[in-house]
Amino acid sequence: MHTSVMLEESINYLNLNDKSTVIDCTLGYAGHSSAILKKIPHGFLYAFDQDNEAIKEAEKKLNKISNNYKIINKNFIHLKDEIKEEVDGIIFDLGVSSPQLDEDYRGFSYHKEAKLDMRMNQNQDLDAYKVVNEYPLEKLIHIFKEYGEEKYSTSIAQAIIKKRKEKPIETTTELAEIIKENVPEKYRRKSHPARKIFQAIRIEVNDELNVFSSALKDSLTMLKKGGRISVITFHSLEDKICKKIFNEVSNIPKELRGLPVIPDEYKPKYKVLANISPSKKEIENNPRSRSARLRVIEKL
């Protein structure tokens, strides 16, 4: 079961009417998409996901509501190629769904014994096994630092290289154990030491940050006037990208600030409407929402 995060806020901010056209970039188990479809009986919903299992379940749910939707079984980086019309609302609810985390065999979780996988798209070639067993030392250190913000990146990467010379590292729990053994005792007690490294490998396997950055920029160009984008992120790296892109398009360039008259071409074309965290109540009910942040922007 996947509990949708910031469901009400993210959809209310889209300000939909019954004829709105909407894109859900991260269909998942259709929590957001179901709520959207109910709001747009005379509109249309496009929904992306690259996870075949999520799509099967989502379809069953959406069919009970209406049939004015199209599921696109692709990475949302293809947004602009797939949809040629301007839309009223776009939503990104990033990361993985709870079933992806809970299914042992997907290899996303360090708690569960599984083959090293972590692919959201089960048809792609690069998986966590290849990252862990084939990447050179410098590249491992780089992704652990950049995507995991892990201070013991070097010692963990060195330990991985040493272990894999003896035999390939096959499973999530083997990897988690290597990580645990190579951080100081005190650090182990804070949170599971594998958390950040698993996040880093997942981001690398799915190229999550580049894909998101490119798709978010494209999505801004796909809005009608008054159209809005809601973005729910789950860690600071995604949120930083969203904040930077939204700031760039919603602010007057620094050099022109303070001028008595701003030329039309430099006036912002977008306005940031929200930058909020989940309520205390939501965090209590769904601890997974703890790290979430919702940012919303409108095309003027």
Ligand X SMILES: C[S@@+](CC[C@H](N)C(=O)[O-])C[C@H]1O[C@@H](n2cnc3c(N)ncnc32)[C@H](O)[C@@H]1O
* Binding positions for ligand X, rule: CB under 6 A: 2, 4, 26, 28-32, 48-51, 54, 75-76, 93, 95-97, 120, 211
Nearer to ligand X, 53 or 113 (CB): 53
Nearer to ligand X, 45 or 178 (CB): 45
> Min. distance of Cβ 153 from ligand X in angstroms?
24
Q: Please, is 263 exposed, middle or buried when counting C-beta atoms within 10 Å of its C-beta (0-12, 13-18, 19+)? A: exposed
Quote the tokens at residue 251: 């602010």
Nearer to ligand X, 20 or 50 (CB): 50
Nearer to ligand X, 58 or 157 (CB): 58
Rounded distance between C-alpha atoms, residue 266 and residue 143, angstroms? 37
Which of helix, strand or coil describes residue 103?
coil
In the block, residue with structure tokens 């075949």: 52
**Listed residue (98, 105, 131) closest to 28, CA to CA:** 98
Nearer to ligand X, 120 or 231 (CB): 120
Sheet hosting strand 44-48, strand order edge to edge: 69-72, 44-48, 21-24, 87-93, 223-233, 293-299, 270-276
> Min. distance of Cβ 4 from ligand X in angstroms?
3
Residue type, 268: P
Rounded distance between C-alpha atoms, residue 53 and residue 13, angstroms? 29
> Min. distance of Cβ 96 from ligand X in angstroms?
6
> Min. distance of Cβ 175 from ligand X in angstroms?
22
> Min. distance of Cβ 51 from ligand X in angstroms?
4
3-state secondary structure 213-257: HHHHHHHHCCEEEEEEEEEEECCHHHHHHHHHHHHHHHCCCHHHC
Rounded distance between C-alpha atoms, residue 130 and residue 116, angstroms? 9
Count other Cβ atoms within 10 Å, centred on residue 189.
Answer: 9
> Min. distance of Cβ 108 from ligand X in angstroms?
11
Nearer to ligand X, 157 or 205 (CB): 205
> Min. distance of Cβ 130 from ligand X in angstroms?
19
Residue type, 153: S
Nearer to ligand X, 106 or 163 (CB): 106
